[in-house]
């Protein structure tokens, strides 16, 4: 049920997540407990786990409104730097490999699909393992501040902060991962647009497949590359294309794997998704 709730929240929040990177962090201050402050992510409170059995909420149920506001603020504080960094690294890596591996690939559609798969998988995985701890800190800090402003008793407040942060952290990470993947697709298509266009133009004007011979004269990639890594006329072999197709089949990083990841440090090989 938790996984289904996360997926549904991600789908419904798609429009908001697409532009969250351009939304400035919220200003500090108090909130109105009559529901006056709205979250940027539509219906966010519908997908959060807010344990009504916590003693503070049992005594003061109106304080439950603090949770979605605190989490929304945390996402807005964290999303832009995490997404920008993750997408930049993923797109630069993807572009460089595409230009080498697909130098002799005349089909721009095949090239674009491979670039999309690689960039979004790298960006999403890096964003997921990078954002978890900063999100935990931001969620806890925002929730604690808002509850303190509402006059909550310290011991009961700390229980709410710990439980609500822990139970909703995976959903927060999922939304940031989704934002990174979607931006990576847009950015890598833009970065490789000239390579796509030149293949299409060459085919339309000459009727012949396009080959980028510059990689053999630029000196950037040595002629001593192993045979399996050397571009060949006719495009990639099926086994080589599977390297890129397999990005669609890499398991997503789970909460357990991301749990111990340090910010900025990718998980061990075989654990990225």
For 4-41, write each residue's pLDDT tens digit: 655 555 554 444 455 454 444 555 444 444 445 567 77
Compute φ and ψ for 73, nearest 5 degrees: -65, -40
Of 115, 9, 151, the residue nearest 71 (C-alpha): 9
Measured between alpha carbons, how far is 165 from 140 in angstroms, rounded to an integer? 6
Spatial separation of the C-alpha atoms in residues 93 and 82, rounded to whole Å: 17
Residues 6+ apart with CB under 8 A from 33: 62, 63, 65, 66, 150
Query: pLDDT band for position 216 (50/70/90)?
Result: low
d(CA 110, CA 41): 35
Name the CA dihedral angle for 27, 29, 34, 39, rounded to a multiple of 10 degrees. 20
pLDDT in tens, 141-183: 999 999 999 988 999 999 999 999 999 999 999 999 999 999 9
Angle at 244 between CA 271 and CA 250, to 5 degrees: 25
């Amino acid at each position: 049920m938790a996984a289904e709730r996360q997926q549904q929240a991600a789908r419904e929040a798609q429009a908001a997540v697409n532009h969250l990177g351009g939304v400035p962090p919220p200003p500090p201050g108090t909130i109105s407990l009559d529901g006056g402050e709205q979250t940027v992510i539509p219906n966010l409170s519908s997908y959060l786990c807010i344990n009504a059995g916590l003693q503070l909420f049992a005594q003061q149920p109106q304080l439950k409104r603090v949770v979605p506001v605190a989490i929304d603020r945390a996402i807005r504080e964290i999303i832009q730097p995490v997404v920008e960094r993750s997408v930049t690294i993923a797109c630069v890596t993807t572009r460089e490999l595409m230009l080498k591996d697909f130098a002799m690939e005349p089909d721009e559609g095949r090239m674009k699909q491979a670039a999309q798969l690689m960039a979004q998988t790298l960006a999403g995985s890096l964003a997921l393992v990078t954002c978890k701890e900063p999100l935990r800190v931001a969620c806890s800090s925002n929730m604690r501040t808002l509850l303190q402003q509402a006059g909550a008793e310290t011991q009961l407040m700390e229980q709410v902060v710990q439980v609500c942060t822990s139970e909703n952290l995976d959903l927060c990470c999922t939304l940031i991962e989704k934002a990174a993947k979607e931006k990576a697709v847009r950015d890598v298509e833009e970065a490789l647009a000239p390579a796509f266009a030149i293949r299409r133009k060459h085919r339309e004007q000459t009727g012949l497949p396009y080959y980028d011979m510059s990689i053999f004269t630029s000196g950037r990639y040595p002629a001593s590359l192993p045979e399996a890594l050397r571009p060949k006329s006719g495009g990639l072999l099926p086994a080589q294309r599977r390297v890129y197709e397999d990005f669609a089949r890499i398991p997503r990083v789970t909460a357990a794997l991301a749990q111990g990841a340090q910010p900025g440090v990718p998980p061990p090989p075989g654990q990225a998704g």
